Amino acid sequence: MAMKIRLARGGSKKRPHYSIVATDSRMPRDGRFLEKLGTYNPLLPKDDENRVKMDAERVQYWLSHGAQPSDRIARMLEAAGLREKAERNNPKKGTPGKNATDRAEQKAAKASAAAEAANAPAED
């Protein structure tokens, strides 16, 4: 069975509240789960101690039994010191898109044409 540790959404519209659960990966996001491991309230300030609450002992148990944390849960575990920080690298994120590069090329071409026109000798 493929196990996951992930968030299950609760709360009303525009007032989210999440449960940190251990579940089979084939179950729906808010569906059946095996164990509730904690809670996450994104509406609280980032420095509030009640924003993320989790039972570290049970999380370690599920990780030792092969459960894979979701991306958001992995970051929470890193912040809590239960997991070593993973190296993240997205080299494409900082590169401009196709339209932006086209605009930059056109702007450079106009600037070079204007510079050449300004440097050309004046004819009488």
Enumerate the domain spans of the chain.
3-80
Q: Is residue 122 scored above 70 in pLDDT?
A: no
Q: Please write the tens of the pLDDT for every residue from 62-106.
A: 999 999 999 999 999 999 988 888 888 877 777 888 999 999 999
Residue 116 vs residue 108, higher pLDDT: 108
pTM for this entry: 0.70
Instruction: Taking residues 48-67, report their average pLDDT.
Output: 93
* Residues whose CB falls within 8 Å of the CB of residue 70, separated by 6 or more in sequence, listed in order: 4, 5, 6, 7
CATH architecture, domain 3-80: 2-Layer Sandwich (3.30)
Using pLDDT thresholds of 50, 70 and 90, give the confidence band for residue 123: low
What per-residue confidence (pLDDT) applies to 48?
92
What per-residue confidence (pLDDT) applies to 89?
82
